[in-house]
Chains A and B, each alone.
Chain A
């Protein structure tokens, strides 16, 4: 998708959340405390075979805002996602959701506490129908207990309720016509939508989206973007990883930049994009490499340079 496409489509400016951090514009430094953080992480490190994949001294995610996590490939964004959601264990560090420590909490409990994620490579369950995918997202289902499952009358009512809620969401995400299709038959973009809708079935407080736009047909990006903005207006907090700078600029209230495992810059989108450390991070990580092979990073870099002019 080219940049000009993007700009022509994103005409309606979303309302940005401002004044998220403690202090003035000069305080927009890595690790700056937030006025109302939903996630507070300190000293998170994770090494793979002697290589520090993540080394984050301090990071706070502002509540009821859209935070973008950007950085070149291999910066440790997905690893950080995995660590925050309990899918991987850090070597050191502490982190908390709403003040409750998540250290050592298994992934499924993290999700139950209201912090739900999606994956970079979509994990729509292809051999199940779209509706079954949705219903799987609902929490506290009586029928998910072994003995209750045998007696349908114990869970029929609840099943009807969550089916109704699922239909509402599918309607919103324009998937309702496909509800009885196997998820495997959906297009890449539809699967991204499904995964997001399914995450909403959990009634999350914090939605973590790992590259929600990757591989999505341009026709669907607009609707995905507006869904993400809607999440904020419904009171949720969003943290997402993205490569597309235009999109980040367009919807993010706050941007966190990672490079080589560290947070190198934080701030509102405009400030961050002007930050020398950010430009260095993108250039530096590719120093000595063949730039042509990594189009994502090259595009990001070009966008950053365009912005500076």
Chain B
């Protein structure tokens, strides 16, 4: 029998190796070919909107400089032609990040001001937008790996903390009701849109708009449960059915947001253009400081609630074994309502912080985070709040640190890959108990 098991493991290893091999071959084949098509225009046939520019140094056009455009779920790149010109078509009006890849400039030429190799472009009335970079003479001092590491780790911590706010609610809801809620991400978007509505649209000051939005998301969470999930539990609808219902809800809400707010990306006050503070290798803004402080305070509040208050202890009891909790006199429905309210409050806050982190508010911003939330929750051990926190910090760190090695448009690949690997090795998650997987 030992032979049999070894054979199985061997087979698994072969599959893993095979996958690695295919992947490596894929990477190599792409490296072997020229890195980008050398055309000075891309995507202009398909799309109505375009960003264009002219790269020159001391009135000489520069050939073969790589320009990248990213935003609204779209990205593309192009190299300047012999005339120094470039043009990139984009699918919709909105805000895009345009990057001039400094490495592709001729030796001795750099972007004049440090950090200005990346610029934001927002479309107004016209369908084309010009973006030019100012170049100067000089050498760029490259940042040491360790300094980059610290900077990214700081970012990762900030991201991980806001992810934790989003994840804990999902995990608590799963723990108490068994529902894997695909519409959880829409609560994040809800929080961000409410802030946008009460802030920029209705003109409330932001310090007032944010608490209003958070409270409304808490109410939204409660209504979710009261109007939909509780009746379904009463009907004894199975968990797989509930999961698919949550997908239906997610679709409905997302397109409803798009119906009301449109497809463009909006900014919350102070999200862009805040002064950058530099401490050693780490650079951040006052928004980051606020974001992390709020996250940490809220996480402590959740920990206090779960471990020190009566209703918090009841929540954990329901999570542990809801039938037993019900028998021992805990009002499971009441606990569930409270869990949904907390889930909403946390998700709303998480959504607002996510709107500042990205930055931007749009209709599917929450959905973009959904899989990372799942990854965090499973990584930590589904159903445990503390596990969700640990999982979130790991995923947050991993996503940001992976950009040291991976291109930034692949940073989620690593996190999702880790999710699958964890399930392979330890399906119950880092802090979960084995029985939960059963």
Contact = CB atoms under 8 A, between A and B. Distances in A.
Contacts of B2: 104
A48 B1 CA distance: 25
Interface residues of A, number: 6
A288 interface: no
A158 interface: no
A104 B4 CA distance: 9
B378 to A, nearest CB: 21
Interface string A104-115: 110000000000
A49 B5 contact: no
11 contacts: A48-B435, A49-B433, A49-B435, A101-B1, A103-B1, A104-B1, A104-B2, A104-B4, A104-B5, A105-B1, A105-B4
Contacts of B435: 48-49
Interface in B251-303: none
Contacts of A48: 435
Given A49-B435, A101-B1, A104-B2, 8 more contacts: A48-B435, A49-B433, A103-B1, A104-B1, A104-B4, A104-B5, A105-B1, A105-B4
Contacts of A101: 1
Nearest to A103: B1
A104 B433 CA distance: 23
A92 B288 CA distance: 52
Interface in A46-81: 48-49
Interface in A83-113: 101, 103-105
Interface in B411-438: 433, 435
Contacts of B4: 104-105
Interface in B139-168: none
Task: Find the residue from B1, B4, B5 having the highest chain A CB count within 10 A.
Answer: B1
A103 B433 CA distance: 25
Contacts of A103: 1
Nearest to A105: B1
A103 B3 CA distance: 12
Nearest to A102: B1
A84 to B, nearest CB: 15
Interface in B1-15: 1-2, 4-5
Contacts of A105: 1, 4
A105 B3 CA distance: 11
A105 B4 CA distance: 9
A254 B181 CA distance: 52
A49 to B, nearest CB: 7
Contacts of B5: 104
Contacts of A49: 433, 435
A243 B2 CA distance: 37
A114 to B, nearest CB: 17
B11 to A, nearest CB: 14
Top 5 A-B pairs, shortest CB-CB distance: A104-B1, A104-B5, A103-B1, A101-B1, A105-B1
A49 B5 CA distance: 26
